[in-house]
Amino acid sequence: MSIDVPTTGRALPELQPVRFIGANGQPADTDTAGLTPPSLSTLLGLYRQMVHVRRFEAQVTALTKQGRLATYPSAAGQEATEVGATTALGPTDWLFPTYRDSAALLTRGVPVAEILAAFRGDWHCGFNPYEYHISPAATPLATQTLHATGYAMASKLKRRGECTLTFFGDGASSEGDAHEALNFASVWQTPTVFVLQNNQYAISTPLRAQSNATMFADRAAGYGIPGIRVDGNDVAAVFAAVSAALERARDGEGPTLIECLTYRIESHTNSDDPTRYRDSAEVDHWKQLDPIDRVEKYLRSHGALDDVGNEEILASAEVLAASVRDAMNTDSELDPTEIFAHVYANPRTHLREQQAILEAELAEAGRR
Amino acid sequence: MTVTALTSTEEDPAPTSVTMAKALNRALHDSLAEDENVVVYGEDVGRLGGVFRVTDGLQAEFGTERVWDSPLAESGIVGTAVGMAMAGMRPVVEMQFDAYAYPAFEQIVSQVAKMRNRTKGRVSLPITIRIPCAGDIGGVEHHSDSSEAYWCATPGLTVVTPSNPADAYSMLRESIASDDPVIFMEPKSRYWMKDQLSLPVTTAPMGRAQVVRAGNDVSLLAYGSTVRTALAAAEVGAEHGLSVEVVDLRSLSPFDDATVSASVRKTSRAAVIHEAAQFGGFGAEVAARVTERNFVHLAAPILRITGFDTPYPPPKLEEHYLPTPERVLDAIETWDWEL
Ligand SMILES: Cc1ncc(C[n+]2csc(CCOP(=O)(O)OP(=O)(O)O)c2C)c(N)n1
Ligand SMILES: [Mg+2]
């Protein structure tokens, strides 16, 4: 009797990350793994969105420092991965993000106030997942990778053609759920794209304390799926790799692991102090590899962007920032008894009793 | 849900002898037949039919897209069920043994239980997590745990456990149809318990406790495997002139305060019986809420007759650990019956 040996995805990916646009905006001369770069007009749209995202992150970080939000994990420096991957999704595809991925939510059109409801302390998830095809941002690390796999399995069983994309970090990659998700997705051949944002830190823990593998993308081979490492600061590479993975997924060819090599420029959250674990020279080095500068240079050198066009983009980012300030400077109206409203589909007597206690307390305090 | 010309409606003409395992199997079968969004997966549930054969024959009848063997990873099984449920399916997943549900703890407690709440009711997770539970089967280490207290301490979960074949059928059907996620605990030692029954059968609604033996002197509050223990104690008690009422709690969360309180007010004495360890166990919750609601009606403190506060013992010693009818009767003898 012969053993059935799947042979897909056995080749190890290239060590050199796939890159279309170099750090100075020049076309890169590295191997691009047969991927097709986005058109100039797509790239211009990606650039515009990255500028918006950066302004958004800066504004939210500032408001958090002013105490308008409880906490905020910024993705500054990771705009190419956030925007490139999210933009590649089709309208019916689903995104399974983490706390780090507000930029992705913004890119997919979730209103600012709904994105920030969680960090503001209003509610855990501020948006309707079915409206934007985005699951609530997961904080328990890597749990969402399994949800993405399960959702994709349902899509496959129902032949709905929806793909799923999940973000997870270098730290989260060590969690069992990340492993289980990659394995389930491979065995079930689900239409799932796993985007590992390797920003080289899990809070303070550096990459080499997390994994001793040459690179995360190599793991794909062990699961029997294709893996690829891209320059996560090159939006063209991210967009191309995710688009190709989605196409494979839609064609019934199963999941892909995409490692995006990037860097978290800001602190983990506003309450973190990165000077305790990394020096400014390292941060400065990565600032040289900025994901936005390079696209701007590339677009300008290809005649797709001029000063006037850029001014318009920057001005629209300021409009966005103003809307963030407006949203966060408006006090939210919360009904304390809503904590009882959504626990169960089938109402429970003891929750009604406890709600009555709270209602009486509120009445006593003149809040009812 | 429409029930069309499917097997589920083919009334069995006369009651036949049905084991709890068979009743569960039939419930899965009928739910699969009735609703195409129901899928069944887990470890060895496909061709083998599960290690307890509860899923026997389902894959053969419904195919590998409805019933299949998953990779061996409990967090993966539950975590993917979350995604499937978000996409509109009704996954029924099996944890092979209760102690092997622990790898899924994070998904159950942080995701399954909370998704509805964190999304303001926009995302329902109609997932049924079947957990063969408790001991008394001669199982080696890790095969006899009672994990209900963990699940019951988690808002957002519904936790039920049948004690007999008819409830097993009816409550599993209801669990699968529920829009709330349900931890469905199947007492392993009762899988082979038989009743005369015709399926399908509809018993009391899932959230209800039931008086399964009426009595006047004491209320024994039991669930799952200990209902039989309580009934046996009642038999012996009757021989000694003690009139014992037995309440099968059936649903641990939600808890049927009304039925339990009514029983306790009638008898004025209550003892709760479970296999799990006592300290921090479900019995503590029962004792507390029954006392809070019925203090003035009580003639004696509520007793907990439970497993000891030790890890579950090896097979040759489990008879000493499990609450027996004798231990139940000994315990209630400690009350001052003059009061
Ligand atoms: C299961 C779990 N353990 C610990 C934490 C606390 N925690 C939050 S973020 C984080 C670091 C995650 O690093 P990584 O996955 O690389 O993502 P990044 O924050 O860099 O985007 C930790 C340890 C958590 N959220 N979940
Ligand atoms: Mg990281």
Judgement on whether residues A168 and A145 belong to the same structural domain of the protein:
yes
Judgement on whether residues B31 and B147 belong to the same structural domain of the protein:
yes
Can you tell me the mean pLDDT for A170-195?
A: 98
Judgement on whether residues B318 and B169 belong to the same structural domain of the protein:
no
Q: What is the residue-wise DSSP string for A124-184?
A: S--S-HHHHTBPPPB-STTHHHHHHHHHHHHHHHTT----EEEEEETTGGGSHHHHHHHHH
pLDDT at A5 over 80: no
Judgement on whether residues B214 and B186 belong to the same structural domain of the protein:
no
Judgement on whether residues B192 and B264 belong to the same structural domain of the protein:
no
Q: Is residue A8 part of a domain?
A: no
Judgement on whether residues B51 and B187 belong to the same structural domain of the protein:
yes
Mind listing the pLDDT tens digit for each residue in A89-119?
A: 999 999 999 999 999 999 999 999 999 999 9
Where does the pLDDT of residue B336 fall: very low under 50, low under 70, confident under 90, or very high at 90 and above? Answer: confident
- Determine whether the shortest distance from the Cβ of A108 to ligand 1 is under 6 A: no
Judgement on whether residues B290 and B189 belong to the same structural domain of the protein:
no
pLDDT the model gives residue B218 = 98
Ligand 1 atom 26: the closest Cα is on which residue?
A140
Judgement on whether residues A206 and A345 belong to the same structural domain of the protein:
no
Q: What is the residue-wise DSSP string for B82-101?
A: HHHHHTT-EEEEE-SSGGGG
Mind listing the pLDDT tens digit for each residue in B17-28?
A: 999 999 999 999
Of A9-18, B58-67, B161-170, minimum mean pLDDT range: A9-18
A202 CA to centre of ligand 1 in angstroms: 6
Number of domains in chain A: 2
Chain A residue numbers touching B127 (CB-CB < 8 A):
none
pLDDT at A8 over 90: no
Judgement on whether residues B291 and B152 belong to the same structural domain of the protein:
no
Query: What range does the domain containing A352 cover?
Result: 335-368
Where does the pLDDT of residue B6 fall: very low under 50, low under 70, confident under 90, or very high at 90 and above? Answer: very low
A48 touches chain B (CB under 8 A): no
pLDDT the model gives residue A34 = 93
pLDDT the model gives residue B12 = 55
A129 touches chain B (CB under 8 A): yes
CATH number at residue B295: 3.40.50.920
Q: Is residue A154 part of a domain?
A: yes
- Which residue is associated with the tokens 């097709």? A36
Q: Which of B150, B168, B197 is where one domain is finished?
A: B197
Judgement on whether residues A206 and A283 belong to the same structural domain of the protein:
yes
Q: Is residue B102 part of a domain?
A: yes
Q: Is residue A4 part of a domain?
A: no
Measure the CA dihedral A131/A132/A138/A144, to 10°. Answer: 100
pTM: 0.96
pLDDT at A6 over 80: no
Judgement on whether residues B53 and B117 belong to the same structural domain of the protein:
yes
Q: How many CB pairs under 8 A join A and B?
A: 147
CATH number at residue B90: 3.40.50.970
Where does the pLDDT of residue B5 fall: very low under 50, low under 70, confident under 90, or very high at 90 and above? Answer: very low
Judgement on whether residues B28 and B110 belong to the same structural domain of the protein:
yes
Query: How far is it, in rounded angstroms, from Cα B301 to Cα B141?
Result: 34
Judgement on whether residues A326 and A346 belong to the same structural domain of the protein:
no
pLDDT the model gives residue B339 = 61
Where does the pLDDT of residue A229 fall: very low under 50, low under 70, confident under 90, or very high at 90 and above? Answer: very high
Judgement on whether residues A218 and A363 belong to the same structural domain of the protein:
no
Judgement on whether residues A241 and A347 belong to the same structural domain of the protein:
no
pLDDT at B8 over 50: no
CATH number at residue A158: 3.40.50.970
Mind listing the pLDDT tens digit for each residue in A272-324?
A: 999 999 999 999 999 999 999 999 999 999 999 999 999 999 999 999 999 99
Mean pLDDT of chain B: 95
Backbone angles phi, psi at A341, to 5 degrees: -75, -30
Judgement on whether residues A229 and A364 belong to the same structural domain of the protein:
no
User: Cis link prior to A97 (omega < 30° from 0)?
Assistant: no
Of A168-172, B1-5, B135-139, minimum mean pLDDT range: B1-5
Cβ of B80 and A130 within 8 Å? Answer: no
Q: Is residue A29 part of a domain?
A: no
pLDDT the model gives residue B124 = 98
Helix (H) or strand (E) holding A270: none
Judgement on whether residues A221 and A352 belong to the same structural domain of the protein:
no
Judgement on whether residues B42 and B151 belong to the same structural domain of the protein:
yes
pLDDT the model gives residue A4 = 75
User: Cis link prior to A6 (omega < 30° from 0)?
Assistant: no
Task: Report percent pLDDT > 70 for chain B.
Answer: 96
Mind listing the pLDDT tens digit for each residue in A210-221?
A: 999 999 999 999
pLDDT at A17 over 50: yes
A157 touches chain B (CB under 8 A): yes
pLDDT the model gives residue A2 = 64
Strands A201-202 and B67-69 turn out to be unpaired
Can you tell me the mean pLDDT for A253-270?
A: 97
pLDDT the model gives residue B13 = 65
Judgement on whether residues B327 and B187 belong to the same structural domain of the protein:
no
Where does the pLDDT of residue B2 fall: very low under 50, low under 70, confident under 90, or very high at 90 and above? Answer: very low
Query: How far is it, in rounded angstroms, from Cα A318 to Cα A329?
Result: 16
Judgement on whether residues A258 and A150 belong to the same structural domain of the protein:
yes
Judgement on whether residues B243 and B188 belong to the same structural domain of the protein:
no
pLDDT at B1 over 70: no
Query: What range does the domain containing B245 cover?
Result: 210-333
pLDDT at B255 over 60: yes
Nearest CA-CA partner of B227 in B273, B279, B265, B189: B273
Where does the pLDDT of residue B116 fall: very low under 50, low under 70, confident under 90, or very high at 90 and above? Answer: very high
Can you tell me the mean pLDDT for B284-313?
A: 97
Q: Which of B163, B197, B231 is where one domain is finished?
A: B197
pLDDT the model gives residue A9 = 64
Cβ of B82 and A176 within 8 Å? Answer: no
Q: Which of B197, B220, B254 is where one domain is finished?
A: B197
Judgement on whether residues A301 and A192 belong to the same structural domain of the protein:
yes
Backbone angles phi, psi at A193, to 5 degrees: -110, 120
Mind listing the pLDDT tens digit for each residue in B300-333?
A: 999 999 999 999 999 999 999 999 999 999 999 9
pLDDT the model gives residue A1 = 52
Judgement on whether residues A112 and A236 belong to the same structural domain of the protein:
yes
Query: How far is it, in rounded angstroms, from Cα A256 to Cα B242?
Result: 68
Number of domains in chain B: 2
In whole angstroms, how far apart are CA B48 and each of A187, B67, B76?
Answer: 19, 11, 20
